[in-house]
Amino acid sequence: MTRDTPQDPSVTSPPASWSDAPSRDALQLIAEGVTQLAGFGVAAISAVREDGKMEVMAVAGSDAAREQLQGRRTPVDRLSRELEKADDWGLLRFVPHERLDESAGQDWGWVPDIEPIDGAEDAWHPLDLLVAPLYDDDGDLRGSLAIDLPVDGRRPGQAQRTVLNQYAEQARRAVLVALERERLAERVRMADAARRIVRTATAQLSLDRIVADSREALVEGFRAAGMWLQTFDRDGHGSARGEIYSSDGSHIHLTPELITIAEVSARAAWERQQATVVSPHREFGPAITAEQGELVLAYLNEIGVESLLFTPLGAGPEVLGNLVLTRAAGAPEWTEAEAATALDIGHDLGRAILNARIFEREHELVEELQELDAYKGQLIATVAHELKNPLTSVMGHLEMLESSPDFTGHARSSLQAMDRGARRMVRVIDDLLLLSKVADPDESIISAPVDLRRVVDDVVDLTLVAAEQKKLDVVVDLPGEPVFALGDHDEIDRVAANLVSNAVKYTPASGAVRIGVERVGNDVLLSVADEGIGISSDDLLQLGTEFFRSSNPEAVAQPGTGLGLAIVRRIVDRHGGQLEIESELGSGSTFRVWLPAAEPES
């Protein structure tokens, strides 16, 4: 019996069938019906697997036969060659032993130990083959029902063939149902694995986390022995600059030759949109030469891997790496559903890798910008300190010269001009030093309650002379009791001074400046409004940037360094506040500073 299962290198005996339990039970019942009701001692039902082999799914009637045959796989073409010699008995095919070619001395998987009935023309011979090939509605071979060891020792007559044909039809339907259930279960399993991977991996912005979060779903979902994920470098090459991540964190060493093979294969596979199975029993793809194939197989043998599923990883036209899932000897063959799902996952992981690389690059750029900003602050502070010392000496000598009676007329005018220039340089240097201080994240604030009402009073007093010279109406709206902000007194004072002095500077003669202070919930609000030249929408976007001067000619005509509002913005930011600017060209500007409120010290 089971003449479709000879023992040779093409026949394998993996673990029990992967079909679901209800399907296996149905096939077993049909096989047992043949042995119990149709007058035969052994029956076996096989199904065609995706690797082109027949797998024995159910065996009934003999424990010895079951032990040797259950789960065995035989190439389909072996059965097809034997069917060419068969007599047509309806759904059944019968090959008498005398038609078998035994010259090769093949050892069949299981042969009953019986002697034919002497002198009977219809005596059953141990090597007789009775099998029903099971086809689907499209005429494709999907399985077989093999029958052996008739109870009466004779080849079946017409009546017995009719019964066996009925069982063959039952077996055909059961095999088709079993395979369909298995395909559905496979799709559900792979879909679940894909969902788990997409849900976890695509949410990560680190390659290490992508691998860590997806490897369990990959290994379990694909029933793999292990996996590794190889990424190519940013130029798209699988050089040493790429990375290899394994399922258990162990080091995967690939030689330069293997890395090159992987890169070429990944590109070819991505172009074809196809995952590839690599095993000793399969041909290599067109991108791999026979010599390279032997190199790959030798490596697999070295690490104890029987086969692997190789999947390209990419996004759009870009190939980013490959995913390798491995299986050890004796494991089931890779299925088409697994290959299709692996390719879908290759797209998802490719996008996740691309996102991680973009995030990684952005993080690097942010670090570079932070380093540049720190360097700029350090440079500004260093230059300002180096300038201040000699400038202090210059101003001291200018004061001595101005008090000397030896200078009159043009000489004294020159000294006064030099003094004005030196004092302006001092203001610039002081602004640079303050800007460096408030921009330094390591320069902490010693916060304390600051009476904003008193700060505004002091600032208005200092700018009163300049306002009177321009005949400005300075309107100050202050509450009757103190309003405390939480922060550094000197820095908050500088914020108010810069805003009020700018309002006075840019408001034309006879105009008005309005200053207000109020408590709003957990914040305090300082507002300064002017009737000046206003700010264009383009300039508003850059206002507060170091050394920025407005493009408005009227604003450029006013003296300034472009540091005042930059200092204001930095101070407000480091106090956890907010700066709002409302302006329209030709209609004046309003600056609002929100700062955290504080309660007065008891």
Taking only the tens place, the pLDDT of each residue in 49-76 is 877 788 888 999 888 888 888 888 888 8
Banded pLDDT at 78 (limits 50, 70, 90): confident
- To the question of pTM greater than 0.75 for the whole model, the response is no
Mean pLDDT of 118-140: 87
- pLDDT given at position 17: 42
Q: Are residues 194 and 336 in the same domain?
A: yes
Cα–Cα distance for residue pair 345/220, rounded to 1 Å: 14
Q: Are residues 143 and 277 in the same domain?
A: no
Residue 241 placed within a domain? yes
Q: Are residues 99 and 27 in the same domain?
A: yes
* DSSP-assigned letters across all residues of 385-450: HHHHHHHHHHHHHHHHHHT-TT--THHHHHHHHHHHHHHHHHHHHHHHHHHHHHH-TTS----EEE
Cα atoms in the 13 Å half-sphere on the side-chain side of 267: 11
Mean pLDDT of 509-523: 93
Single residue among 321, 339, 361 that ends a domain in this structure: 361
Q: Are residues 403 and 524 in the same domain?
A: no
* DSSP-assigned letters across all residues of 94-135: EE-GGGS--TT---BS------PPTT-TTBPPTT-EEEEEEE
Mean pLDDT of 455-467: 92
Cα–Cα distance for residue pair 514/89, rounded to 1 Å: 109
Residue 4 placed within a domain? no
Q: Are residues 308 and 216 in the same domain?
A: yes
Q: Are residues 190 and 295 in the same domain?
A: yes
Cα–Cα distance for residue pair 110/126, rounded to 1 Å: 10
**What's the whole-number average pLDDT of the chain?**
81
Residue 172 placed within a domain? yes
Q: Are residues 387 and 476 in the same domain?
A: no
Q: Are 432 and 384 in contact (CB under 8 A)?
A: yes
- pLDDT given at position 196: 67
Residue 70, phi-psi category: left (phi > 0), alpha (psi -120 to 50), beta (remainder): beta
Q: What is the CATH number of the domain that holds 377?
A: 1.10.287.130
Residue 422 placed within a domain? yes
Residue 581 placed within a domain? yes
Residue 6 placed within a domain? no
Q: Which domain holds residue 177?
A: 21-184
Does the pLDDT at position 2 exceed 60? no
Higher pLDDT among residues 119 and 572, named by residue: 572
Mean pLDDT of 441-454: 86
Q: Are residues 418 and 492 in the same domain?
A: no
- pLDDT given at position 194: 65
Mean pLDDT of 406-425: 79
* DSSP-assigned letters across all residues of 282-301: SPPPTTS-HHHHHHHHHHHH
Cα–Cα distance for residue pair 341/258, rounded to 1 Å: 25
Mean pLDDT of 418-438: 77
Higher pLDDT among residues 198 and 432, named by residue: 432
Question: In whole angstroms, how large is the CA radius of gyration of the chain?
Answer: 44
- pLDDT given at position 21: 64
* Residue recorded with tokens 């910008």: 369
Residue 48 placed within a domain? yes
Cα–Cα distance for residue pair 8/106, rounded to 1 Å: 8
Counted domains in the chain: 4
Single residue among 335, 361, 387 that ends a domain in this structure: 361
Q: Are residues 197 and 154 in the same domain?
A: no
Q: Are residues 433 and 453 in the same domain?
A: no
Does the pLDDT at position 155 exceed 50? yes
- pLDDT given at position 15: 39
Residue 353 placed within a domain? yes
Q: What is the CATH number of the domain that holds 142?
A: 3.30.450.40
Q: Are residues 204 and 158 in the same domain?
A: no
Banded pLDDT at 199 (limits 50, 70, 90): low
Q: What is the pLDDT of residues 347-367, one digit of tens each?
A: 888 888 888 888 878 888 888
Banded pLDDT at 414 (limits 50, 70, 90): confident
Banded pLDDT at 266 (limits 50, 70, 90): very high
- pLDDT given at position 174: 84
- pLDDT given at position 10: 39
Cα atoms in the 13 Å half-sphere on the side-chain side of 526: 30
Cα–Cα distance for residue pair 257/299, rounded to 1 Å: 11
Q: What is the CATH number of the domain that holds 555?
A: 3.30.565.10
Cα–Cα distance for residue pair 261/280, rounded to 1 Å: 17
- pLDDT given at position 191: 64
Does the pLDDT at position 598 exceed 70? yes
Single residue among 184, 208, 226 that ends a domain in this structure: 184
Which of 472, 381, 471, 484 has its CA nearest to residue 430? Answer: 381
* Residue recorded with tokens 């691998």: 211
The single-letter code of the amino acid at 496 is A
Mean pLDDT of 93-105: 70
* Strands of 512-520's sheet in order across: 473-477, 512-520, 523-530, 589-596, 578-583
Q: Are residues 339 and 377 in the same domain?
A: no
